[in-house]
Structure formats: structure tokens, C-alpha cells
């Protein structure tokens, strides 16, 4: 959307502009989709694209987040965690800070998670900061 607004493309042409930039299997899929459904409006088109090409991304990111464990530094763990958090939030913005903080703390090494949990962080940024402090204390 930002691209279309930046280029001053009228919303009625967003689906067409996006379609012009598809290649490979996406372009082939688009030809079949247009035959069956027409190009349609932006919301219908983007929903179809997300369903076709993004359906597994959300599930995969959620599985990875739920299984993610700290194996090295807090910084590396936090970077991997936030990457998955943002990816999940692109598909589903219904998860709140409590969910993400709980998952972050759960994945920390035991000696670090205990100290972070006791501080009851309100968001992931605070949990990361507390985990970094706890890591320094333990070093």
C-alpha cells in the first residue's frame, strides 16, 4: 500500500499494478486466478495472494516461536524472537503483550528466566532489557 500511495496510484489500480510485478509461479498462478475470478478489487486480490503464498508462513512462524529456546546470548535469542513476533503480527494482530512476554520468558535459559519472570515485564522490550541485565549479573 505504501508503494502505491508513494507513486500516487489510485486504489482502483492497486491490484493491476501488483499483478504487473508478478513473475515465475506467481505469474502463472495469477493467469489461472484471473480466468477463474477476474482481478477484482484490492482486498479480494490481496486475500487470494496471501491465502496462496502466505498460508504456511504464519503457521511456520508460530511453530518456531513456540519452540524457540535461548541457546546462546540474550541478544541473539531476542533478535530471533522479535523476527518471529513481527512475522506473526503481520498475519494476526490479535496477540497481546502478555502472550509475547510469556513466550519470550519461557524460551530464556532457566537461570535468566527466573530473574526476568520475578520482575513481571509488561512488554517484550522490557523483558529483553531485564534479560540482558540478568545475563550480565550471571557473567
| pTM assigned to the model | 0.69
Q: CA quadruple 72, 121, 129, 113: dihedral positive or negative? A: negative
Q: State the pLDDT confidence band at 115, using cuts at 50, 70 and 90.
A: very high
Count up the domains in the chain and report the number: 2
Residues 21 and 83 in one domain: no
102-137 as b/e: b if 16+ CB within 10 A: ebbbebbbeebbebbbeeebeebeebbbbbbebbee
The winner for highest mean pLDDT among 7-11, 30-34, 37-41, 55-59 is 30-34
Q: Which of 14, 33, 53 is the last residue of a domain?
A: 53
Q: What is the mean pLDDT of residues 97-110?
A: 97
Residues 76 and 122 in one domain: yes
Q: State the pLDDT confidence band at 99, using cuts at 50, 70 and 90.
A: very high
Mean pLDDT of the chain: 92
Q: Is the pLDDT of residue 109 over 80?
A: yes
Q: Which of 10, 37, 53 is the last residue of a domain?
A: 53
pLDDT at 125: 98
Residues 46 and 59 in one domain: no
Amino acid at each position: 500500500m505504501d508503494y502505491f500511495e508513494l507513486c500516487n496510484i489510485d486504489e482502483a489500480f492497486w491490484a493491476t499494478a501488483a499483478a504487473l510485478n508478478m513473475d515465475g509461479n506467481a505469474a502463472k498462478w495469477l493467469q489461472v486466478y484471473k480466468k477463474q475470478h477476474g482481478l477484482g478489487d484490492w482486498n479480494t486480490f490481496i486475500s487470494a495472494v496471501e491465502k496462496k503464498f502466505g498460508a504456511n508462513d504464519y503457521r511456520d512462524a508460530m511453530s518456531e516461536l513456540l519452540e524457540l529456546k535461548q541457546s546462546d546470548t540474550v541478544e541473539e535469542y531476542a533478535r530471533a524472537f522479535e523476527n518471529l513476533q513481527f512475522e506473526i503480527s503481520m498475519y494476526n494482530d490479535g496477540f497481546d503483550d502478555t502472550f509475547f512476554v510469556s513466550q519470550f520468558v519461557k524460551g530464556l535459559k532457566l537461570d535468566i528466566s527466573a530473574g526476568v519472570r520475578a520482575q513481571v515485564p509488561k512488554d517484550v522490550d522490557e523483558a529483553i532489557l531485564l534479560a540482558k541485565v540478568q545475563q550480565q549479573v550471571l557473567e
